[in-house]
Structure 1
Amino acid sequence: MSEWIKCGDRLPEQLSGTAKEYIVCAVSDGQRYVFAAQYLKGYALYNPDDDCGEEEGLSEATGWYDVKESAEYAGWYEPIKDQDVTHWQPLPSPPTE
């Protein structure tokens, strides 16, 4: 298992335009939470609240996001406050058996 990396020391290194999943530790209201989240770096997200067409509704996002699921559609990215995520680590390798 990987060691925790403090966000203040470094963030994930990945290509611009990508989203990748990590394990994060976040603090909210004094409680620590550990869960899987995605780090987006210059990743194009569609904002359905924009009144313009789909192409104009795209914006580049960088930071930590929780992926929310819905039975009605594939899901959406919910931003996590960057100051709430204190540490991260890569996902472990899957089992071989």
Structure 2
Amino acid sequence: MSDWIKCSDRLPPEGEKRDYLCLFEYGEMQVTEWLYDKTLGWCFWYGDPSHWMPLPHLPTE
């Protein structure tokens, strides 16, 4: 089972400004922010990925 989510299936919730791991069609992975842009609306900061997944929570210790 994969934790990757296809961008064509769904995107992160609007208003949930945080970082995600994104996969691009040419095989590159990038941590990028999901944010609101005045021109584009809600979008990933770094390009147009094909898949995304939430980052795990930081360790507490």
> Which structure has the bigger radius of gyration?
1
TM-score by length of 1: 0.51
Query: Larger relative CO (CA 8 A, sep 6+): 1 or 2?
Result: 2
Q: CA deviation at 1:19?
A: 2.9
- Alpha-carbon separation, structure 1, partners of 2:54 and 2:13: 11
Give me the identity figure in percent: 36
- Structure 1 runs not aligned, ≥5 long: 46-58, 67-79
Amino acid at match of 2:6: K
- Structure 2 runs not aligned, ≥5 long: none
TM-score by length of 2: 0.74
**Which runs of at least 4 in structure 1 moved beyond 6 Å after TM superposition?**
none
Partner of 2:34: 39
Write the deviation string for residues 29-80 of structure 1: whole angstroms up to 9, x where unpaired. xx3011101112xx2x5xxxxxxxxxxxxx35421113xxxxxxxxxxxxx1
Amino acid at match of 1:3: D
Write the deviation string for residues 76-97 of structure 1: whole angstroms up to 9, x where unpaired. xxxx1x3xx0110111111233
How many residue pairs get matched?
59
Question: Which of 50, 54, 63 is the aligned partner of 2:43?
Answer: 63
